[in-house]
Structure 1
Amino acid sequence: MSSIDVKISQINSATSIIVLVLLCIAFAIGSIGPLFNVIVFTRPNLRREPCSLYFLSSTFFNLFFVFVIIPVRILSNSFNISMSNYNAELCKIEIFAFYSVRSISCWLIAMACIDRYLHSSANANIRRFSSLKTAKIIIASIIIIILILYSHMMVYLNIQETLNRFGTISYSCNFYNSTYRTFMSFWYMTFYSLFPSCLMILFGCFTMNNIRKRRQIVSVSNENNRIIRRTDNQLLRMLVAQALVIIITTLPQTIYQIYASFTMNLVKDTLRIAQENLANKTSGGMTYFCHSTSFYLFTLSGSIFRRELYKFISQCCHLNRTRVDTFRSEMNKMPTLTKNRQLAGIKNTLVRQS
């Protein structure tokens, strides 16, 4: 075996290990956090906010991604266990869900950025669009639109037979048309990374500009206005943190997709293919963290989120303490009741004898 073959083998082994580690870390940190997100965003102080509804809806899709898609990816990528490689229907459903669920989650965060812009506007007519009713309509519309935009994948997805380096036939779920495969790379890059990220940056800047203008015009006069303003600022911080992580984790994959599109007609040797596969898999693995780290970002960036989480934990601890105290008091009453019954029995016996 030549030194190049050894290097290629090492790169392929490193790719498998890196992908497995990234997926396991994303699953480990994402299996707990989103559950707490659901609890906190359904608390009375936050569930009335349209921005919280966007966060909550995005969390549900992240939960599906963490508990369904990531385990399937771990089995297929690292252990070569995948029913979708042998069943055409499962092939279409799995890849369609992989693409659409991730895009819906990012687009809901982008809509939350737009909601913060509307909410911070000095124009009352514009602020009126920031409401729970509008948020529900937009969330339903985003889900339907994304599913329709990705529905064409179902036509071009199928099971393919390929020969590996050992000459044996292997099966994989992929797009059978190479032209469509290139188109899908641009499509996915556009609707998963570029458009949502650009909207987050654009409306984030607009929101900061609105806040700066309102601070110059409106003075905070009473405690209620201060509480509302503090809640808005905390939600904005949480939103900015989530948007930045989405942009940072999806940007390398976007750069690689652009590079791959410009070099797809070049003749590449096996070493370069292995190196590009390493870059592709590593950048793709980074995108998993934008769906599993939201709880930790919200905890670090939003004091209102930490406060509601602390209240929930305190209530749970208080409830458990109350149950323990009740149980102990009942256990303490039992000997007293038994002793009273014995004394009553002795007293009745003495009365009968007399």
Structure 2
Amino acid sequence: MSSSVYYLSIVQQILTRYGMSSYVAFGNLGNLLTIAVFCQSEQRKNPCSYYLLSMTICNLICLNVGILPIIYSLDHIDISSKYQIVCKIQFYIRHAFFQIMRTYKVLACIDRYAICSINVRIRSFSKRKVAIYLIIGCALFWLTAVIFFGWARTIENGSCNIYNDIYSMIYTIYYMITAGILPPTLIIIFTLLAMKSLKQLRSRVQPIREDRENKQSINIVQKRDRDLINMVFIEVMFYVMSTMPFSIYLIYKMVTDDLIKSRERKQIESFINYILQSFIMYLNTALPFYIYISTSSSFRRELKRIFIKFYAFIMRKKIRYENNNSTRTMIIC
């Protein structure tokens, strides 16, 4: 083994042991706090919160099902590369929930566009009943649709992958469309449409207006959606950064599969696959909480309320609510 390949192996072990372990720990903490925020009664009034809550649950599942076995295999046998049934089931679970998460991300963007649209029909999409139906329907669809790709996985030379040439080509095309092209494109389109709708809403608000109550409700909608749009833009950036490189790698792999490769080249390609498919792509499932807390003031307020409730529960104290200037303040008694 050449020195360069040896160093790549050492780097991979360090990234897995320290890098992945760190973002799994912080990712689990962040995802659990995000779930706690979106489970609050005030948040459940918003259909978009249902999509974000469901997306966070998918992130939690993908993060642990995908990364924990990799960390475990550092000091033990890799059970996904030893047992055929584990190889198939592990891929099925993580891939299904990745696809469900991507779909919820798109639906959340559509909901953000709908809620600030001036068109009544479009606005009717942003309802809790619609959100619940779509969440359940999308989950059932993807849990059924990806069964084939889980079944197609086999173990060869100690690696769990799709080795049938036809199945591999089908998977590459399918992945590029459903993960690398459609979700980012749809997210960007509906985010831009939401921004356009917000501008139209602002143009409808006149500087002098007798109906102050209606003006205040419009401003509240605008503030809420500005927070959500900021969250979407950063999510899109990280999503594209974490998904597109692997889609490009899949094209490269499909084109070069028939070539005779040296052992060193195979090791380098294996390292690139690890970085793109495991390290970077799974990092995307650990980031949402830190994106939300850095871009949304409303999310930070809800998180602060959770900590106050938790403190009051631990200290066995009561909480009193006071309404000041249309804001609700929590006071520990």
Amino acid at match of 1:261: M
Amino acid at match of 1:271: E
Give, in whole Å, the separation in 1 of the partners of 2:66 and 2:9: 23
Answer with 27-36 or 298-307: which moved more: 27-36
Amino acid at match of 1:120: C
Greater Cα radius of gyration, structure 1 or 2: 1
Kindly provide the CA deviation profile for residues 219-247 of structure 1, in whole angstroms up to 9, marking residues without a partner as x.
48433443333223222222332232212
1:60 matched to 2:68:
no
Which position in structure 2 is the counterpart of 1:339?
none
Give, in whole Å, the separation in 2 of the partners of 1:320 and 1:158: 50
Contact residue 80 and residue 160 of structure 2 kept, 8 A = yes
Answer with 109-118 or 239-248: which moved more: 239-248
Give, in whole Å, the separation in 2 of the partners of 1:288 and 1:275: 20
Which position in structure 2 is the counterpart of 1:137?
133
Give, in whole Å, the separation in 2 of the partners of 1:306 and 1:277: 40
1:251 matched to 2:251:
no
Q: CA deviation at 1:133?
A: 0.8
Give, in whole Å, the separation in 2 of the partners of 1:262 and 1:178: 11
Contact residue 19 and residue 282 of structure 1 kept, 8 A = no
Which position in structure 1 is the counterpart of 2:108?
112
TM-score normalised per structure 2: 0.85
Which position in structure 1 is the counterpart of 2:281?
287
Q: CA deviation at 1:39?
A: 1.0
Unaligned runs of 5+ in 1: 163-170, 325-354
Alignment of 1:226-245 (within 5 A): 226-245=219-238
1:277 matched to 2:270:
yes
Give, in whole Å, the separation in 2 of the partners of 1:154 and 1:64: 17
1:201 matched to 2:194:
no
TM-score normalised per structure 1: 0.80
Which position in structure 1 is the counterpart of 2:41?
44
Amino acid at match of 1:125: R
Give, in whole Å, the separation in 2 of the partners of 1:199 and 1:80: 42
Amino acid at match of 2:94: F
Q: CA deviation at 1:304?
A: 0.2
Amino acid at match of 1:183: I
1:146 matched to 2:142:
yes
Secondary structure of the 1:47 match is helix
Q: CA deviation at 1:288?
A: 0.8
Give, in whole Å, the separation in 2 of the partners of 1:80 and 1:320: 39
Amino acid at match of 2:294: L
Which position in structure 2 is the counterpart of 1:211?
198
1:92 matched to 2:92:
no
Q: Does the C-alpha gap of structure 1 residues 251 and 119 become closer, same or farther in structure 2, counting only changes over 3 Å?
A: same
1:185 matched to 2:172:
yes
Q: Does the C-alpha gap of structure 1 residues 173 and 264 become closer, same or farther in structure 2, counting only changes over 3 Å?
A: closer
Which position in structure 1 is the counterpart of 2:325?
none
Give, in whole Å, the separation in 1 of the partners of 2:172 and 2:285: 20
Q: CA deviation at 1:23?
A: 2.1
1:264 matched to 2:257:
yes
Answer with 264-273 or 22-31: which moved more: 264-273
Give, in whole Å, the separation in 1 of the partners of 2:219 and 2:166: 56
Note the aligned Cα RMSD (angstroms).
2.3
% identical aligned pairs: 27
Q: Does the C-alpha gap of structure 1 residues 319 and 17 become closer, same or farther in structure 2, counting only changes over 3 Å?
A: closer
Secondary structure of the 1:152 match is helix
State which of 302, 307, 311 in structure 2 corresponds to 1:313. Answer: 307
Give, in whole Å, the separation in 1 of the partners of 2:151 and 2:51: 31
Kindly provide the CA deviation profile for residues 277-321 of structure 1, in whole angstroms up to 9, marking residues without a partner as x.
222211221011111111111100000000011111122223434
Give, in whole Å, the separation in 2 of the partners of 1:218 and 1:145: 42
